[in-house]
Amino acid sequence: MNQDIKKPIIGFSCGDLNGVGMELIIKSLSDSRVLDFMVPVIFASNKSLNFYKKLSPEFVLSFTSIPDLSKINPKQVNLIHSWEEDVNITPGELTEEGGKYAFISLQQAVAALKENKIDGLVTAPIHKKNIQSPEFNFSGHTPYLQHAFGNTENLMLLVAENLRMALVTEHVTVQDIAKHITKDKIKQKLQILNSSLQKDFGIDKPRIAVLALNPHAGDEGLIGKEEIEIIRPAVKESKNQMLAYGPYSADAFFARGAHEKFDGVLAMYHDQGLIPFKSLAFGEGVNFTAGLPIVRTSPDHGTAFDIAGKNKADAASFTAAIFECVRIIHARQGYRDMRLNPLKKRSARMFANAKDETLEESNYR
């Protein structure tokens, strides 16, 4: 963390210029109390920010435009003027320009992260189609950041209060999901999740539930064999290192409130995890990329072209993403500080055989 400014410096990429990203930034940062917790830096242009300020007149955002990150004002919202061109902004429309300048903003913010000039990043939503280019050939922020930081394995983790939902696969077509579910991949994602729960969320011995792929957890092979051949062995082998349980049938698991008994849940695919998550998060969910050397969060929704430019966007998820970014930065620092003189830790193997009858997967089929 930048030592000259004690509060963490948080960068903001603007997202698609025709989506709700700039509106969310304005609404979230217009409350001057956020400056008590962090120093914001927006990567965009004066025109784009002022354009959306006029569309949300009741939200008064005061900012200072700075030439580079050495000129940060710790008592104001800062704007790095990221492009000089006079860009045509057309809220609600999917255009080439909207994606082009979303990438320029993201690229500059990531460069600042790499140079340790900012401490964390909150990304506004992009559209996965119009941002595509030779420089951005990815299915979203997460794989792009993985590539940018040396192909470090990471994990899409959705967070809302005590609910933490991780995914084995992300933006994969339904017909291809099963071929991406392997024992090694599940074990890898479990390791990242377990580590993140410890260092990013301060949970010393996290309890993790693993969901099944097939209905009724495969009904002992009658409705698919992935649970028997892949998922259950992965969970069993992971128990040597962590408290992992499952596989659980997803419908019964959430219907019976079993998620409340765990510190994290690992879903097999996108909709299996995100449908219950968004239903339970009440519009305040946060997308966190776990496993990276940097801290990046975002709201749990997309560009919302249907309401862009209409001053209708709810900033609750974006605001939650800001404070989650700040919290995780401090949590990681505390985790590092605590281990400068660590107490002798008990081996994780002591817990490998821990058994809680209320967590048996048969209860949630």
Cα dihedral 294, 299, 302, 308, rounded to 10, equals -120
User: Which among 278, 308, 287 has a CA at the least distance from the CA of 24?
Assistant: 308
The per-residue DSSP string of 236-294 comes to HHHTTTSEEEEEE-HHHHHHTTGGGG-SEEEESSHHHHHHHHHHHHTT--EEEEETSSS
Q: Which whole number is the average pLDDT over 287-304?
A: 96
| Predicted local confidence at residue 162, as pLDDT | 85
| Position 5 confidence tier, pLDDT thresholds 50, 70, 90 | very low
265-286 pLDDT per residue, tens: 999 999 999 999 999 998 889 9
**Confidence tier at 347 by pLDDT (50, 70, 90):** very low
The gap from C-alpha 103 to its chain's centroid, in whole angstroms, comes to 18
Residue 139 has what pLDDT? 87
Locate all alpha helices (DSSP H) within the chain, ordered by sequence. Answer: 21-29, 46-55, 96-114, 141-148, 177-180, 183-199, 226, 232-238, 250-255, 270-281, 316-338
| Model confidence band, residue 349 (pLDDT cutoffs 50, 70, 90) | very low
> Could you give the maximum distance between any two Cα atoms of the chain, in Å?
64
3-state secondary structure of 13: strand
Mean of pLDDT over the chain: 91
Give me the residue label for tokens 């030779």: 134
pLDDT of amino acid 352: 39
Name the pLDDT band for 342 (thresholds 50, 70, 90). Answer: low
Compute the distance between CA of residue 247 and CA of residue 209 in angstroms, rounded to an integer: 7
What are 190-243's pLDDT values in tens digits? Answer: 999 999 999 999 999 999 999 999 999 988 889 999 999 999 999 999 999 999
Fold of 153-291+345-365: Isopropylmalate Dehydrogenase (3.40.718)
pLDDT at 348 over 60: no
1-152+292-314 shares its CATH topology with 153-291+345-365? yes
* Strands 207-211, 264-267: pairing kind: parallel
- Taking the C-alpha atoms of residue 103 and residue 216, their distance in angstroms, rounded to an integer, is 42
Fold (topology level) of 1-152+292-314: Isopropylmalate Dehydrogenase (3.40.718)
CA angle in degrees (0–180, nearest 5) for 258-264-269: 90
Domain chopping of the chain, boundaries: 1-152+292-314, 153-291+345-365
pTM of the model: 0.88
